[in-house]
Chain A
Amino acid sequence: MTYQSQAVAKPYFIAAIALFVAQILFGLIMGLQYVIGDFLFPEIPFNVARMVHTNTLIVWLLFGFMGASYFLVPEEAETELYSPLLAKVMFWVFLVAAAVTVAGYLLVPYATLAEFTMNEKFPTMGREFLEQPTIIKVGIVIVALAFLFNIGMTVLKGRKTVVNLVLLLGLLGLAVFFLFAFYVPENLVLDKFFWWWVVHLWVEGVWELILGAILAYVLIKVTGVDREVIEKWLYVIIAMALISGIIGTGHHFFWIGAPEYWQWWGSIFSALEPLPFFMMTVFAFNMVNRRRRNHPNKVATLWALGTAVMAFLGAGVWGFLHTLAPINFYTHGTQLTAAHGHMAFYGAYVMIVLTIISYAMPLLRGRTAANSNKSQVLEMWSFWLMTVSMVFITLFLTGAGILQIFLQRVSDDPQPFMAVQEQISIFYWMREIAGVVFLIGLVLYLLSFFVGNREPEAVVEVRG
């Protein structure tokens, strides 16, 4: 750790991991509710578990992005953070807001939460992923503005690297597009159309800039490849991401009442969306193969390579599977969408946050470069368990989705939704088992922070 103020990243990473655990536990509850319909009913209905599962995911990724920024921006800018105090205060504001929101979901019926927070005065609640009470959304904006100000001032007063500029641009876009969460028109079609300006332009737009910048930073560090080379790749990747992804938003506009020309725009441009992810994979492996040094933090390199591969599979390949309008006509709103969502979020965003945590945490905890071998080996086990089980979760949901599509939408005698759900329950059981394996991987991940701390740091074997 070169700058003292980078230390503010640590609580952000710890909070991210804690919320990650909550996310997975509630995911397992939902998975079980798919096959044992009355599990925890009516105490924790499915929709409540789902809000906790998706909202904790988003919030812990945001904690991860913020921690990543506080860690890497000062080092890239070669200066201390503008205000470590502001970063610490905002950490607590954000954590309390997240805790209050989750408690609200779990303790009272959602309608009561809406009434209590006076949703009818300025209705923003009850839309997928943006379920937070309006007052909490205002809090998120305040935290985001304070964070952007802090990071922006740091970038301004220091060295302006491409990594920092791209990261800042991504974070700025994240804040700007979140503002559409406050626009909830009475017209359902307009509502849905602009809801995607948050959701799609985040995950298939500006978040890819954040992902690219963090990946580029870690690759610069662990491979020692010339910054000029990595920055050029970064520009090409994010150029492709936005060129394909912005108009690619159209693949959400096929069946929600928007004009039918979106079927052409959306299909063609979103079909190009796998390209930046493919380039990211080529880029990551190329940089590691051309490395100028062997970094002792091997597991961070593993996470970086894993991110590129899994983001390509989850976001790229599984997205392409159902992005063309004639196919999407049958797949829209089925378990196939869920399959894609799981692997894409894990591969692109969960893994990039775990990559930067894996690189930064040893330094934040006083190591000079890396954890002990023992700790790294355990973390590698967790990498493989979580990643392989996510592949299986995706495959089982894909199986469920294909059967669902056939039985409910394609066969000569289409069956009702619930009748189909019962016939595909074997896939839900297998998904739940894969989910338990994921949890085991997560437990090993947590343990990796506590084992081997007294052992010496891993070192690079020097070849004679």
Chain B
Amino acid sequence: MAQVFTKSMARNIFYGGSMFFFLLFLVLTFDTINTLPKRDNRAALTPVVVQGKLLWEENDCIGCHTLLGEGAYFAPELGNVYTRYGNSLDAIKGFIMSRPKDGIPGRRSMPQFNFSDAELDALAEFLKYASEIDTAGWPPNIQG
């Protein structure tokens, strides 16, 4: 870093480089948004699924689980739980319903949320919707 490379050159690389790559990022984002309708299963976004997403958020499910690999690593991946449970909405609902209120001695256990039937439906439909997003083949196998 002798005199040939001056501070103002470094500054210009910073401003020019950051601007250029941010603009490129915007272009790629724009293209992504245009491509998403083919991948993101938006046709399945019914009011029930939307309600399920809100329930997913308002009960902080992401605080223990991952969804498409993002979240906490304390409990199983749920992006593909619908397929893991044999494409069964009832199996998902049954699991959520049957959690013991005081947990299981010595083991991790999901809390009992006391959801209504409509809420259970919404959550299960949301997880079904999530499982049908095109995730480029992830996860590697059914275990998530």
Residues of A within 8 A of B (CB): 30, 33-34, 36-38, 41-42, 45-48, 50-51, 110-111, 114-115, 119-120, 123, 125-128, 131, 162, 184, 186-190, 192-193, 228-229, 231-233, 235-236, 238-239, 242-243, 246-247, 249-250, 252-263, 265, 329-330, 332-335, 337-338, 408-410, 414-418, 421
Q: Tell me whether A188 and B13 are in contact (CB under 8 A).
A: no
Judge if B97 is at the interface, Cβ distance under 8 Å: no
B50: which of A131, A186, A243, A249 is its contact (CB, 8 Å)? A186
Cα(A233)–Cα(B11), bound, Å: 10
Instruction: Choose from A126, A235, A236, A333 the contact partner of B57 (Cβ within 8 Å).
Output: A126
With A188-B53, A188-B129 as contacts: A48 and B14 at CB distance below 8 Å: no
Contact of B76 among A243, A262, A332, A416 (CB under 8 A): A416
Which residues of B approach A to under 8 Å, CB–CB?
1, 5-7, 10-11, 13-14, 17-18, 21-22, 24-25, 28-29, 31-33, 35-36, 39-42, 45, 50, 53-54, 56-64, 66-77, 101-109, 111, 113, 129-130, 133-144
Not counting A126-B58, A186-B45, A246-B18, a sample of 9 additional A-B residue pairs whose C-beta atoms are within 8 angstroms of each other reads A38-B105, A42-B102, A128-B62, A128-B70, A232-B6, A260-B136, A332-B139, A335-B73, A414-B142
A326 to chain B, nearest CB (A): 11
The smallest C-beta distance from B24 to any residue of chain A, in angstroms, reads 6
Please name all residues of chain B whose beta carbon is closer than 8 Å to the beta carbon of A258 when the two chains form the complex. 32, 36, 39
Q: Is the interface of A mostly helix, strand, loop or mixed?
A: helix
Q: Given A45-B111, A46-B63, decide whether A242 and B21 contact each other with a Cβ distance below 8 A.
A: yes
Residues A249 and B60 in contact, CB atoms below 8 Å apart: no
**Chain A residues whose C-beta falls within 8 Å of the C-beta of B29 in the assembled complex:** 193
CA distance A214 to B44 in the complex (A): 48
Report the nearest A residue to B74, measured CB to CB. Answer: A46
Q: Bound state CA distance, A421 and B18, in angstroms?
A: 42
Name the residue of chain B whose CB is nearest to the CB of A51.
B63
Q: What residues of chain B lie closer than 8 Å to A229, measured between beta carbons?
A: 1
16 contacts between A and B (CB under 8 A): A33-B74, A37-B108, A46-B63, A46-B64, A50-B64, A126-B56, A126-B62, A188-B53, A232-B6, A247-B25, A252-B70, A257-B134, A259-B32, A338-B73, A409-B140, A414-B140
Contact partners of A188 in chain B: CB under 8 A: 40, 53, 67-68, 129-130, 133
Is A417 a contact partner of B143 (Cβ separation < 8 A)?
yes
Q: Determine if B143 and A242 form an interchain contact, defined as CB atoms under 8 angstroms apart.
A: no
How far, in whole Å, are A417 and B138 apart by their CA atoms in the complex? 16
Q: Are A255 and B25 in contact (CB under 8 A)?
A: no
B111 proximity list for chain A (CB < 8 A): 41-42, 45
Say whether B7 contacts A235, CB under 8 Å: yes
